Amino acid sequence: MASKQMLAVAAAAVALAVLLPARGAAATEHMVGDGNGWILGFDYVAWAATKQFRVGDTLVFRYKGTNHTVVEVGGEDFKACNKTASANEWSSGEDRVALDKEGRRWFFCGVGDHCAKNMKLKITVLAAGAPAPGAPAAPPPPSSPAGKARARVAHAAAAAAVTAAAAAMLAL
């Protein structure tokens, strides 16, 4: 009896997974430098290359408050390590930067020659629902022959899951 109940629960779970629309990905909190934090001597270019930044995500810069700062500037000022009067600057030791729009963002440490020593981060923020660069192409439109075939397969799978769940429930 217990195995029939387990089968019914499993079939119902499969049916729900097939029938419910996929939810959008939750926003991500990116700890800059992961466990290392915001420090000198870390390769932020390599770190950023392993991440995908999207609108709605947050960057967290963690460091000892008196040792570093976080300065956000434009691309040319980033290259030159130039902290302009209009630059955003944080110095709390745990600075949270909301990624609220698409595009490039440039950050560096404004203390001494830290920027010149490559304590800097450049990222590209993607739209919230944008596919990742290099992601597989979107499925064919529903009106195309391939799209219609895909829809029929998905519908058949959903119907089979619902039928299995119903049969399992009736067997209880």
**pLDDT tens-place string over residues 121-148:** 999 999 987 665 555 445 555 555 555 5
Angle formed at CA 47 by CA 99 and CA 25, multiple of 5 degrees: 45
Q: Which tens digit of pLDDT belongs to each residue from 22-46?
A: 334 578 999 999 999 999 999 999 9
| C-alpha–C-alpha distance, residues 44 and 34, integer Å | 10
What are the boundaries of each domain within the chain?
29-125
- Percent above pLDDT 70 for the chain: 60
Instruction: Identify the CATH homologous superfamily for domain 29-125.
Output: Cupredoxins -  blue copper proteins (2.60.40.420)
| C-alpha–C-alpha distance, residues 45 and 124, integer Å | 12
> Which of 133, 123, 129 minimizes the C-alpha distance to 53?
123
| C-alpha–C-alpha distance, residues 73 and 82, integer Å | 8
Q: Which tens digit of pLDDT belongs to each residue from 151-171?
A: 554 545 445 544 544 444 444
pLDDT at 56: 96
Question: Burial code of 55-67, b = ≥16 C-beta within 10 A, e = fewer?
Answer: bbbebebbbeeee
